[in-house]
A and B are shown apart, each in its own frame.
Chain A
Amino acid sequence: MSKRSKHLSDADLLGLLDRELSPAQTEAVLQHLVICSECRDRQEKLESTLSDLNGLYAFELSERISSSPSARARLQQQLNAQEIPTHWWQQSLSAKLFPACIAVAMLLMVIGLTFFGERKPANTNAALSPYAEAQSIPDRRLTPGAIRPVTLSEICSSTDADLDPAVPASIQDAVLKEYGLPRGKQNYQIDYLVNPQLGGTNDLKNLWPEPEHEGIWNARAKDELEKHLHQMVCDRKVDLTVAQREIATDWIAAYRKYVRRQSPA
């Protein structure tokens, strides 16, 4: 807040909205907003302009840009054609030098085993058996995840807290069929891999049959992660794209990383 003005500047209000202020600044701005109706009006106007702008960007994206499998295929082709750089050590480790290197390596190994030979037991936890996890992670070929273009402000200002909006029966059947499960299969919930609150869509590529209650890595555990991750994204502790990517790639790993527990309670 400017010392000379009795009102907040747009930069102050925007900083508050974008969580760019320090805790002390945030506190001061919030206190001022409580007592100043003019600044509250100004805040509303700024939010309204930002909302119009976000609408314009979203509209523009939907009008001009469509999903393009050919663009992905083109990139894949170019990636395959990339030259793999050779490291210097691979060039210098010729056959002449190798025997000496191996001798040194073996010597170091013997020394290492002598001093640090005892292996630590692996962190075994019966509850985290491969079976329980394998059932809970979708087949990436069928469900790689799909998102719509969204902005952070759109996601964080949304009041829709339904983590699992109803999926039409026809789509549910299609998902079950893809996974080779009979129609109306009990104990499975057709779940969103990337939840709508993080920009996930109800495209087939983003849906899979998840055990509803069975095992520990079930729909309830995923809901917990989704709520947690959404909050972290809106608090700007995690980038939206990182959150989308990690939940789409391995949601159990994301759970352990962000909820900071090895397994659900």
Chain B
Amino acid sequence: MSSSPANTAVRLLLHASAGEKTSRNALLEDEVLELFDLMRTRLLGYALSFGISLQDGEDIVQEAFLALFRHLLQDRPRHNLQGWLFRVIHNLALKRRQKNSASALPLDFAETESSDFDLNPEEAVLFNERHRRLQSALDALPQVDQSCLRLRAEGLRYREISKILGISLGSVSASLSRSLARLERVGRR
């Protein structure tokens, strides 16, 4: 059976559409992988600040980038993907912590040596002691205050932090001031 010119055009168009889709997919995949290369460490650091295990943190980061891929595939807004990723990680890490609260692993620098920092033994003791004090003061802060500090250190604007944490701009500023004052008091001791 011979096909009409219109049907041939239909097939060509569908074929072209499938090809475009595949190439668009490949481009998005590259984009997601590039972002992964650039942001994995920072996002993983943020996820771990919720006290979850490294494996859980890695899983969450993978999940967030798969969600990003779907987000981009659906042509959803792409402005401030950094803030978007931190928001997804925040929500996933909270869920994971609730699920695995029994297996949460708090950070512990007690056994960490500071040999990489080229300090003499006396300086190393002081360095470790200061870090331990700061770390325990940090751990004692409410989660929302810890997240504010962490997200600020990642260079996010207060507006972005407020969106991720679901609090007001004023609360972000108040949280940061309060937390820093507490950390400073610990540092002075």
- CB of B48 within 8 Å of the partner chain: yes
Question: What residues of chain B lie closer than 8 Å to A52, measured between beta carbons?
Answer: 130, 134, 183, 187
Question: What residues of chain B lie closer than 8 Å to A60, measured between beta carbons?
Answer: 45, 48, 107, 109
A251 to chain B minimum Cβ distance, whole angstroms, is 14
If A50-B180, A144-B34 touch, does A71 touch B58 (CB 8 Å cutoff)? yes
If A65-B41, A78-B62 touch, does A102 touch B177 (CB 8 Å cutoff)? no
- CB of A179 within 8 Å of the partner chain: no
A158 to chain B minimum Cβ distance, whole angstroms, is 14
The 4 closest A-B pairs by CB, nearest first: A152-B155, A99-B6, A98-B10, A10-B177
**Interface contact A241-B184, CB-CB below 8 Å:** no
Per-residue contact bits, chain A 204-236, to B (CB 8 Å; 1 contact, 0 not): 000000000000000000000000000000001
**Interface contact B150-A79, CB-CB below 8 Å:** no
- CB of B138 within 8 Å of the partner chain: yes
Of A14, A55, A75, A85, the contact of B36 (CB 8 Å cutoff): A75
- CB of B123 within 8 Å of the partner chain: no
- CB of A263 within 8 Å of the partner chain: no
Interface range on chain A: under 10, 10 to 19, 20 to 34, or 35 or more?
Answer: 35 or more
**Interface contact A78-B66, CB-CB below 8 Å:** yes
Q: How far is the CA of A47 from the CA of B155 in the complex (A)?
A: 15
**Interface contact A57-B153, CB-CB below 8 Å:** yes
Question: What residues of chain A lie closer than 8 Å to B35, measured between beta carbons?
Answer: 241, 245
Interface residues of A in 242-262 (CB under 8 A from B): 242, 244-245, 248-249
Question: What residues of chain B lie closer than 8 Å to A153, measured between beta carbons?
Answer: 153, 155
Question: What residues of chain B lie closer than 8 Å to A249, measured between beta carbons?
Answer: 34
19 further interface pairs, Cβ-Cβ under 8 Å (given A10-B177, A61-B42, A80-B29) = A18-B152, A53-B153, A57-B45, A57-B153, A61-B45, A62-B116, A64-B48, A68-B58, A71-B58, A84-B22, A102-B6, A152-B153, A152-B154, A153-B153, A153-B155, A236-B155, A239-B80, A241-B35, A248-B34
- CB of A104 within 8 Å of the partner chain: no
**Interface contact A53-B82, CB-CB below 8 Å:** no
**Interface contact A49-B184, CB-CB below 8 Å:** yes
Q: Which residue of A lies closest to B66 (CB)?
A: A78
A256 to chain B minimum Cβ distance, whole angstroms, is 19
Q: How far is the CA of A241 from the CA of B3 in the complex (A)?
A: 53
**Interface contact A242-B180, CB-CB below 8 Å:** no
**Interface contact B180-A75, CB-CB below 8 Å:** no
Main secondary structure of the interface of B (DSSP, over half): helix
- CB of A159 within 8 Å of the partner chain: no
**Interface contact B183-A79, CB-CB below 8 Å:** no
B40 to chain A minimum Cβ distance, whole angstroms, is 7
**Interface contact B29-A242, CB-CB below 8 Å:** no
Q: How far is the CA of A222 from the CA of B89 in the complex (A)?
A: 34
Question: What residues of chain A lie closer than 8 Å to B176, measured between beta carbons?
Answer: 11, 14
A-B contact pairs, 24 of them (CB 8 A): A10-B181, A18-B152, A49-B184, A49-B187, A56-B138, A60-B45, A61-B42, A63-B112, A64-B45, A75-B62, A78-B66, A80-B29, A82-B70, A84-B22, A95-B10, A99-B7, A99-B9, A103-B6, A144-B34, A149-B41, A153-B153, A241-B39, A241-B82, A248-B34
Of B6, B107, B154, B180, the contact of A14 (CB 8 Å cutoff): B180
Q: Which residue of A lies closest to B74 (CB)?
A: A85
A137 to chain B minimum Cβ distance, whole angstroms, is 15
